[in-house]
Chains A and B, each alone.
Chain A
Amino acid sequence: MYAQMVKSTGERPKTLDEMAPDERAFQMRVDADIKIEPKEWMPEGYRKTLIRQISQHAHSEIVGQLPEGNWITRAPTLDRKAILIAKVQDEAGHGLYLYCAAETLGVSRDEMTEQLLAGKAKYSSIFNYPTLTWADIGAIGWLVDGAAIMNQVQLQKCSYGPYSRAMVRICKEESFHQRQGYDIMMKLCAGTAEQKAMAQDALDRWWHPSLMMFGPPDGDSVHSAQSMAWKIKPMSNDELRQKFVDQTVPQADYLGLKVPDPELKWNEARKGYDFGAIDWNEFHEVLKGNGPCNKERLEARQKAWDDGQWFRDGLMAHARKKNARKMAAE
């Protein structure tokens, strides 16, 4: 997942009549659900918005390795350790496909990395929360990956071919992640009183941050209308959030856990759950860099980048030497 508050042009979408011929032809392809491919003409705003969205998504996968990676050395059994490593590895792989998808729009992976480290490019707010207990690994798989799937399933239909295809592949792996997270929660909830309390505590801490993953309420977003017209954001934040709540509350019930929202109740008329207000102030603070782990996450990525400079340089230097020797021999 994990693009939130992606800025688009900031203007209302144009009507077909207002568009220049190139743009009109482009919009008609989008409207007809024909995928846009890298070498085709596209409006500059479409290209820029997609770069922001895909790179934010890629950065989220990369930074997302950190909170879960935090428990690799402490996973409680050999199987849990292997599953967790495989999952964190998948996230690195997702980051790789997504950087490649963004590169088709004319930006390099190094440029995107520099934007992340300089604080110019965002990643999902959710990864700025700490993983304090083993139950957090279960809660992340269940809730965070659950929210991610909700968002990514619709993005499989996105108008941009490379992004849409990356989503198809990623969705398959994410559903495995969600199942493993829920499986951790089931084991904890069927375990000792201490384990069950650990599970409840994790749900209490991750519930609201998970709901915030979908971004601010629709009324607050000036950029959604254009992104929806371009079909790079097929569903609105509030629609996705509602779908997530409706899917997840029965899963919490099955576990015997209580969703930390006193206003949560089933609305028979709407066939959906009503839920209490979300603290958007917290969300904006986290995006500004004031979440519990923003500093640590970026520092970890900066350290990996800086400490790895000699390694990347060494490999490049060897490749140049090898080429030179080959040329000399020919």
Chain B
Amino acid sequence: MTTAIKTDTALFDLALRMGDNALILAQRVGAWCGHAPALEEDIALANVALDLIGQAKMWLSLAGEIEGKGRSADDLAFLRDARQYRNALLVEQPNGDFAHTLMRQFLFDAWHHPMLVALKSSADKRVADIAGKAEKEARYHLERSEDLIIRLGDGTEESRQRMQTALGALYPFAGELSAADAVDADLAARKIAPDLGDIGKGCAAYLKGVFADATLNAPESAAVRKGGKQGLHSEHLGYILADMQFLQRAYPGATW
């Protein structure tokens, strides 16, 4: 006799959202290897990408376990199509110039770190364990991002202009990370995840302070661009997946 186990779909979504954010951002950041503006940046960006891939692997393994259909982290990474991906739109935005890459990272880190701190107290021990490991890495990412945003904002006129342009382009995507939907509300009610509104408020206050130090101005009334968390992505994601999933799709069933 078999017992059908009902998947905790909200928890599954949380693990996918966290894992997909990390994976897609790692994919973007990893593309800089060998092309960054200074050797030290090649090394630092590789570190960030490595941390994020490690985190993606932990979250996607957990997602597979919650789902209970035997899918591994690799299956979830390499064999889902764009509509099944749950990352926020911010992380799939193109690398652009280095200012865009740094700003995208900063806006993500500014949310990611407090989110992981909060998840360390999750009622689900598996979530709390992963957050405990990832939080230390995210704290370092945030320190590095904040430092660069301030130095380049308050650097030359050109560096300030480039950072300002990047902020204008990417700020509308930052709000999605803290915009709660029914899944988030359910998880917050069960103490598995924090109230995203609280994370968002803390994040906004923090960003305001850093942008002031960096002499940058966040757009006053930017409409929030969202949809990725529910699987409605920008056109960029299809290309990211085409690239990332090429070998697994071209040689089905092969092991590497």
Contacts and interface: CB of A to CB of B under 8 A. Distances in A.
Interface of A: 62, 65-66, 69, 72-82, 85-86, 88-89, 92-93, 95-96, 99, 109, 134, 184, 187-188, 191-192, 194-195, 300, 303-305, 307-319, 321
A130 B10 CA distance: 45
24 contacts: A62-B39, A77-B74, A77-B78, A77-B256, A78-B60, A82-B54, A85-B46, A86-B50, A88-B33, A89-B43, A89-B47, A134-B256, A191-B254, A191-B256, A195-B251, A305-B37, A307-B37, A308-B37, A308-B38, A313-B159, A315-B155, A317-B155, A318-B150, A321-B155
B77 A78 contact: yes
A111 to B, nearest CB: 15
A303 B35 contact: yes
Interface stretch (B175-183, B204-212, B239-247): B239-247
A124 to B, nearest CB: 15
Nearest to A96: B39
Contact of B256 (A62, A66, A80, A317): A80
Given A72-B33, A321-B154, A92 B54 contact: no
Most chain A beta-carbon contacts within 10 A, residue among B243, B246, B255: B255
B30 interface: yes
Nearest to A62: B39
Contacts of B224: none
Contacts of A316: 155
B156 A92 contact: no
Interface residues of B, number: 51
A-B complex: 9 closest residue pairs judged by Cβ atoms: A308-B37, A314-B159, A314-B155, A65-B34, A89-B46, A76-B256, A76-B247, A69-B34, A311-B37
A270 to B, nearest CB: 39
Contact of B159 (A66, A99, A311): A311
Most chain A beta-carbon contacts within 10 A, residue among B31, B97, B151, B246: B151
B152 interface: yes
A239 to B, nearest CB: 32
Given A65-B34, A86-B50, 11 more contacts: A65-B42, A74-B246, A77-B256, A85-B50, A92-B39, A93-B43, A134-B247, A194-B251, A303-B35, A312-B37, A313-B159
Contacts of B248: 76
B56 interface: yes
B73 interface: yes
B140 interface: no
Interface string B133-175: 0000000000000000011101110111010000000000000
A312 B38 contact: yes
B244 to A, nearest CB: 6
B11 interface: no
Nearest to B77: A78
Contacts of B162: 310
A242 to B, nearest CB: 32
Most chain B beta-carbon contacts within 10 A, residue among A96, A109, A304, A312: A304
Given A78-B73, A88-B33, A88-B46, A315 B152 contact: yes
Contact of A72 (B30, B78, B99): B30
B53 interface: yes
B49 interface: yes
Given A72-B30, A313-B159, A304 B37 contact: yes
A85 B49 contact: yes
A94 B146 CA distance: 27
Contacts of B33: 65, 69, 72, 85, 88-89, 92
A117 to B, nearest CB: 14
Nearest to A67: B34
B54 to A, nearest CB: 7
A248 B27 CA distance: 34
Nearest to A80: B256
B255 A191 contact: yes
A74 B250 CA distance: 12
Contacts of B244: 73-74
Contacts of B156: 310, 313-314, 317
A134 B159 CA distance: 38
A99 B160 CA distance: 30
B34 A82 contact: no
Contacts of A134: 247, 256
A184 B232 CA distance: 36
Nearest to B23: A78
Contacts of A321: 154-155
A279 B162 CA distance: 49
